[in-house]
Amino acid sequence: MKHFDVIVIGGGHAGSEAAHAAARMGARTALVTMSKSGIGVMSCNPAIGGLGKGHLVREIDAMDGVMGRVADKAGIQFRLLNRRKGPAVQGPRAQADRKIYQTEMLKEIEQQPNLEIVEGEVVDFVVEDRHVTGVVLTNGEGLAGNAIVLTTGTFLRGVIHIGDISRSGGRMGDKASVKLAERIDSFNLPLGRLKTGTPPRLDGRTIDWDLLESQPGDDEPTLFSFLSKGTSTPQVTCGITHTNAETHQIIRENLSRSAMYGGKIEGIGPRYCPSIEDKVVRFADKESHQVFLEPEGLDDHTVYPNGISTSLPADVQLAYVRSMIGLSNVEIIQPGYAIEYDYIDPRALDLTLKVKSLGGLFLAGQINGTTGYEEAAAQGLVAGLNAALLALGREPVIFTRSQSYIGVMIDDLTTRGVSEPYRMFTSRAEFRLSLRADNADQRLTPLAMSLGCISSERAESYLNKADRLIDAMARLKGTRYSPRLIEKAGIKVSQDGAKRTAYELLSFPDVKFEQVLTLDASLENVDADVRRQVERDALYANYIERQQRDIDLLRKDEAHQIPVEFDYASVEGLSNELTSKLQRSLPANLAQAARIDGMTPSALTLLLSHLKRGTKKRIA
């Protein structure tokens, strides 16, 4: 039996990131996938990033992950969303060429040392004393591993629905994973059922583009990777059309033929990415919905109509699509469909994404109840790093809420679980002013360096930028200027006699770096990237300083670890309801316990008291 340090099951976005991360750590890693050609497939929308999601991609990149730089190579349209709002809530997004993305991701996997691709389907686990020690393939071949990362996406007992037609499948054209799902049943993990959907794919040659509103990309693309220097593919323009009264009427008349409204689907879908049937029913007073027509590649005629995912029959899909402006003669290449699949309640995992009740098994991606490539890849990074650390006998790495969006997501999942597919938003992060997309490298690359999971090129680039930032900050803060000199420089300021540094002036909403150059000629040498960075840092500096107290309190609570074997029933004064919730979720620390529904300050005080008593007993 061939032995690896880490075995990753599944070659999607979670699996690719997990395998690459484990291999970067120096762990001998196997990526097991049904087909090498399935690695890096963008099975839904060929786009990366967005609000909240773009922050995750930047953080993955800061840890030297692959999604960001692959997206930059494949990007055919880049847009910074929320541009009119503050930097903290702006999100980079790229429309990608599906083929280039897949090709570049496979190249990253194949070129990574310590990483071997194994083609095959995993149908069983090898378990010894509640510890997963290997996997078995359909051909009977066994692989042994110190740690296993399971990233099955929508494949666990996946069922595809198009109208009244339902069939087993992990995604269109791929079979579901049934035997593995049955094996997971034996672990007695809490299971649930979720669903997601995709729209029909259109033939771009049959679209009347001249009738559509056009949506160009940004003139100056905002890239994902801190190492990328520019775009490498031609840029395209997307089109915009709208549903209308006729569209909605066609859908309403056929709701009974929808798999979702016809009672065929039990799983809960994503509230923030509803099907077109859902939109028509839930927003009955709305006369139209925007539909973005996004090309899937430079040499591909397929167009992705973002905003009309569906489980209606194919004939109804064609009818409602053709009711829209610019699409009256359109042909459908592939009908849209809903897919229903098993997921495991993420409260069964700890903060490393390891299953609490089993040794050596980590879960990442949609199997944990999330939706989206970015959420999956970020989980893959966490699981891959921790699987490697476990296999190599090192301490785990924990991403915290105050440190990263990755930490926010992992904490949300493992503390609260999910009632619908989890999607990242900036509003989920209470410390979002300091967790910006632009400073992800400052927050996380030092951690990556300490773990030893980044290339020398990444480390050198980061250290060089850090030196330039330190130098610029020193000059910006080195001299204080009188209100008279500041006014003379063309910056409006109160004539109150108070002297201010150039850095303090950059905290004014309308002041840009170029305006403070007349105060200090040496600032001319500061490059454009550093100029924009210090502008953003200065803008939020006062707010972040106030927020730091809350961060310190959170870190203090996170330091109060709760042993997995802690007996909540022994804590006198806790209600039966809270005791039951705590026993079910098994929070890793006091901060997680505080976020459980129904938790009160008095109950937290009781927990802290018992934890301290337990610590004293162990010390004694």
Mean pLDDT of the chain: 92
pLDDT digits (tens, 9 = 90+) for 127-174: 999 999 999 999 999 999 999 999 999 889 999 999 988 899 888 888
Strands 201-203 and 191-198: unpaired
Calpha distance 314→336 (Å, rounded): 8
- Of 343-357, 457-471, 478-492, the least confident: 478-492
Of the candidates 187, 572, 592, 553, the residue with the CA atom closest to the CA atom of residue 581: 592
Question: What pLDDT is recorded for position 559?
Answer: 82
The pLDDT confidence band at residue 577, using thresholds 50, 70 and 90, is: confident
Residue showing tokens 């009738």:
211
- What does each C-alpha distance from 508 to 123, 259, 433 come to in angstroms? 60, 54, 16
The pLDDT confidence band at residue 620, using thresholds 50, 70 and 90, is: very low
Of the candidates 418, 336, 404, 410, the residue with the CA atom closest to the CA atom of residue 379: 410
What sign results for the dihedral spanned by CA atoms 244, 246, 252, 254?
negative
Question: What pLDDT is recorded for position 273?
Answer: 78
Instruction: Give yes or no for residue 115 having a pLDDT over 90.
Output: yes
What mean pLDDT is predicted for residues 365-382? 96
Strands 361-363 and 302-306: unpaired
Instruction: Give yes or no for residue 266 having a pLDDT over 80.
Output: no
Residue showing tokens 């030092």:
446
The pLDDT confidence band at residue 47, using thresholds 50, 70 and 90, is: very high
Per-residue H/E/C for 312-355: CCHHHHHHHHHCCCCCCCCCEEECCEEEEEEEECHHHECCCCEE
Of 460-469, 514-523, 577-586, 600-609, which one has max mean pLDDT? 460-469
First to last CA, the chain: 46
Instruction: Give yes or no for residue 617 having a pLDDT over 70.
Output: no
Residue showing tokens 């476990």:
390
Strands 91-96 and 47-49: antiparallel
The pLDDT confidence band at residue 614, using thresholds 50, 70 and 90, is: low
Q: From the CB of residue 448, how many other CB atoms can be counted at a distance below 10 Å?
A: 23
Calpha distance 23→48 (Å, rounded): 24
In this structure, are residues 150 and 10 in contact, taking their beta carbons and an 8 Å threshold? yes
Question: Two tokens at 344?
Answer: 């495991």
